[in-house]
Structure 1
Amino acid sequence: MVSFDKLRASYTRSHRHRMQQAETTSIPLNAPSANESARPISWVHITTELTKARLNALVVLTTAVGFLLACGDAIDWMRLSIAMLGTALAAASAAILNQVIEKRRDGLMLRTRNRPLPAGLVPSSVAFTAGCILGFAGFALLATEINMLTGVLGGANILIYVLLYTPLKPRTTMNTIVGAVCGAIPPLMGWTAVTGRIDPAAWVLAGVLFVWQIPHFLALAWKYREDYARGGHAMLPVFDADGRITSQAALLTTLLLVPLLLSATMFGLTGWWSAAFSFFATLLFAALAVQFARYKDDRTARTLFLASIAWLPLVLLVMVIDRGPVSVGAFLRGRPNDRIFEMNSPPPALESPR
């Protein structure tokens, strides 16, 4: 075990060294490359960058997964579309407001210096106004056309991301945990859009998303640790010079996905095929985490990061395909095909939008 004082001293030395490297770089921090300066900038590009459209597409996907797992075979496609749209508006709002707050730090990082705000393509006041409008629109849509609980979850996600996660990024490595909470809420929103409540199975699904984000982000943060240090962000790999703590945390959280996914079948959320696929897929995921823990280099971190991107949609897809066909109780009673919901009797909350 390493004492806290030794760990803190290592953090300080590592951070000081990386900041000195950043200060002596010969590349102007906010100067675009020749290719970037020659590339025409469209409003479509600016909008997708401000709203983090590619990242938030995954957020919307997890909302859809929560919805489909909750409704069984009785799918209200209009209601699903509204839930996804409301989630997209809320996620876009959080992304924009986050960039308004982090404009200066984004300008210091090579990876983010050409985003619309630090690049001067959009005034901060315009972005802030757009973020607020989108957030209110997302909350209003979910609260009025779905139900109040889903709207509250969407609004809470914006507030947690903007008022907790963003300010914590330069202050503590625990920001990753808070950020993971934000990623765990969208599948709950999909679930509550159907049921109007948060059931135990919904917490299992949210737990999977929460835990998955930790190895996913730690692998990314290790790859860009110098850049995060340049921007003054307190990410664990910035301070963990030898990568021991970072890689061990990634490995342990990856292994934690195994019991979480098996419990999805125990709660009647998914079937046995999903349990088997998730088990073996997670073992492969964990094997890559072992490689990262062994070598602690950029190559194994990048491999783990890419594997995490492939792992999540594959596991979620199989969960949806094999959704809720059995429960353990039904299996023990000799009726393995009992469904969570009767096909002709959707949950009471599953009503057409007004």
Structure 2
Amino acid sequence: MNDGNTALNGVELDAAPMTSGAKSLVSDLMALARLRIVAMVLLTMLVAAWASSPGPFLWGQALYAAVGVGMVVVGAIVFNQRMEWLSDARMERTANRPIPSGRISPHAATAMGATITVLGVAMLAWSANPALTGLAVLSWFIYVGMYTPLKPVSVWQTAVGALAGAMPALLGTAVVGGWESPHGWVLFGVIYLWQFPHAMAIAELYREQYAKANVRVAPVVDDSGRLVTWLTLFGATALLGLSAAAARWGEFSTPGGWALILGAVGYLVGSLWFVFRRNAFTARWLLRGSLLYLPLACAAFLLG
């Protein structure tokens, strides 16, 4: 009887690490996929699809596209981390990611990224929407083939990366074929310009870590701060101009137009505060403001 209990206890003790290991692997795979970023991308795509739809919104079509696009996005994110794992290991904020920490090997990440990318592209190609499939592949290439290699080379990686970040607006437009609607194009511009102050705030907060990892962001390249000022104010002022123009042309309802304009005004105020008093405190507030602005902008498009 005691022997049976001992054997049973032995089985339980042996099984516990396996269960813990499986949970740890799932957690690492989810961390590698960066699901919060994927969710933000898909939300933006669906907002663009809703706003630019020329007819009744087809939820089945949109959700199918979201699954395929989501897979391509995950593939791009995995490849990005695979390519950057050495520089990630030098930065405190990224050193504990699955690849630099050694929990997932670079070869396994390559296999995962390639597999999920191919499956996502195949799923989109099966939908017989060549514009959507082509834009998804283009987005992947800009992010993996252009933005990621530019990060240790040129400060202009910010402008290139912003292109990839804004592509969900066009992907959403492609889902419904709403190319005649200006909403998808305006949302593309809004997200593209929004990223400049957002990226400068992050770069300022982690300037020393970026320098250690040889990531050529503006605060690392230009100690004078002029480049940071230019990029921040370019994005914020152009965003306000685009928002005002879109509202003025009557492409938004009154609540949607005002929400877009007031959000852009607040973003510009935060950007001005940051460039005139550039430090960790103002950078952190600008970053928080940027994260509040994006859902406000999406709400404006839904209202519009």
Tell me if TM exceeds 0.5: yes
1:136 is matched by which residue type in structure 2? Answer: V
Q: Distance in 2 between matches of 1:279 and 1:223?
A: 27
1:101 is matched by which residue type in structure 2? Answer: M
Structure 1 residue matching 2:276: 3-state secondary structure:
helix
**2:213 aligned partner:** 231
Q: Is the 8 A contact 1:98 1:162 kept in 2?
A: yes
Q: Distance in 2 between matches of 1:175 and 1:122?
A: 27
Match runs of 1:54-69 below 5 Å: 54-69=36-51
1:152 pairs, out of 126, 130, 134, with: 134
Percent of residue pairs identical: 31
Instruction: Report how far residue 215 of structure 1 moved.
Output: 0.8
2:226 pairs, out of 244, 250, 254, with: 244
**2:301 aligned partner:** 319
Q: Distance in 1 between matches of 2:55 and 2:251?
A: 13
Q: Distance in 2 between matches of 1:262 and 1:285?
A: 14
**1:222 aligned partner:** 204
**2:70 aligned partner:** 88
More helix by share: 2
Q: Distance in 1 between matches of 2:88 and 2:251?
A: 40
Question: Number of residue pairs matched?
Answer: 284
2:154 is matched by which residue type in structure 1? Answer: T
2:235 pairs, out of 246, 249, 253, with: 253
Instruction: Report how far residue 72 of structure 1 moved.
Output: 6.1
**1:211 aligned partner:** 193
1:286 is matched by which residue type in structure 2? Answer: L
Q: Is the 8 A contact 1:117 1:124 kept in 2?
A: yes
Q: Give deviations 1:18-64, integer Å, cap 9, x for gaps.
A: xxxxxxxxxxxxxxxxxxxxx98722321222111112221111111
1:282 pairs, out of 264, 287, 295, with: 264
**1:70 aligned partner:** 52
1:176 is matched by which residue type in structure 2? Answer: T
Q: Give deviations 1:151-185, integer Å, cap 9, x for gaps.
A: 11111111111111111000000000110000111
Please tell me whether residue 50 in structure 1 is matched to residue 32 in structure 2: yes
Q: Give deviations 1:256-293, integer Å, cap 9, x for gaps.
A: 11221233345664222211111112111111111111
**2:103 aligned partner:** 121
Q: Distance in 1 between matches of 2:79 and 2:180?
A: 28
Q: What's the TM-score once normalised by structure 2's chain length?
A: 0.88
1:300 pairs, out of 274, 282, 288, with: 282
Q: Give deviations 1:115-169, integer Å, cap 9, x for gaps.
A: 1111111111111111111111221222222611101111111111111111100
**1:102 aligned partner:** 84
Q: Is the 8 A contact 2:87 2:213 kept in 1?
A: yes
**1:262 aligned partner:** 244
Instruction: Report how far residue 247 of structure 1 moved.
Output: 2.9
Q: Distance in 2 between matches of 1:188 and 1:317?
A: 17
The unaligned stretches of length 5 or more in structure 1 are 1-38, 324-354
Q: Distance in 2 between matches of 1:95 and 1:146?
A: 25
Q: Distance in 1 between matches of 2:119 and 2:181?
A: 27
**1:32 aligned partner:** none
